[in-house]
Amino acid sequence: MVLAAAGTIFLLSPITSVTPPPPLQSIPSAVRSQVETRFVGRADSRELIEVGVRPDGTPVRVTATQRLDLRGTGDYYFVVQAPATAIRPGPGTQSQPGLRDLGIVWQGFADKRRTLSATVTLHPAAAAKGLPLKISVERAGGAWQVRLRNVTTKRFEAVSGRAALPALQEQLRGVRSQLARHPAVAGNRQVAGEPGAQVSLYVAAPVRVRGTLASTPVDMTLGGGAPLERVVAVPGAARPNVQLRVRTLSPLEILPTAAELGRARDPLLRLQRGLAAVAAAWAYRRYLGSPDPVGASEALYAYRTVRVAPRPAVRAAGTGSDTLWIVLGAGFGAAAICGLAWAWARS
- Position 46 in a domain: yes
How far, in Å, CA of 92 to CA of 342, rounded? 9
Overall average pLDDT of the 118-138 stretch: 97
Q: What percent of the chain has pLDDT over 70?
A: 84
Secondary structure of residue 340 in the 3-state scheme: helix
Report which of 236, 239, 211, 205 is spatially closest to residue 223, judged by C-alpha positions. Answer: 205
Instruction: Give the model confidence (pLDDT) of 160-210 as tens digits.
Output: 999 999 999 999 999 999 999 887 877 778 999 999 999 999 999 999 999
Domain contains 232: yes
State which residues form the domain around 212.
7-308
What is the Cα–Cα distance from 129 to 149, expressed in whole angstroms? 14
Q: Is 229 inside a domain boundary?
A: yes
Task: Report the relative pairing of strands 59-81 and 84-89 from DSSP bridges.
Answer: unpaired
Asked if residue 93 belongs to a domain, the reply is yes
**Residue 337 placed within a domain:** no
CB-based burial label for 259 (10 Å; 0-12, 13-18, 19+): exposed
79 vs 259: CA distance, rounded Å: 44
The answer to whether residue 314 is domain-embedded is no
In a domain, 13, yes or no: yes
Q: Find how far residue 109's CA is from the centre of its chain.
A: 29
CA dist 76 and 321 (Å) reads 49
Q: Which of 3-7, 220-224, 305-309 has the highest mean pLDDT?
A: 220-224
Give the global pTM: 0.86
Number of domains in the chain: 1
Give the pLDDT confidence of 282-334 residue by residue, as tens digits: 999 999 999 998 999 999 999 999 987 665 554 443 333 333 232 333 333 44
Residue 156 lies in a domain: yes
- Cβ atoms of 131 and 151 within 8 Å: the answer is yes
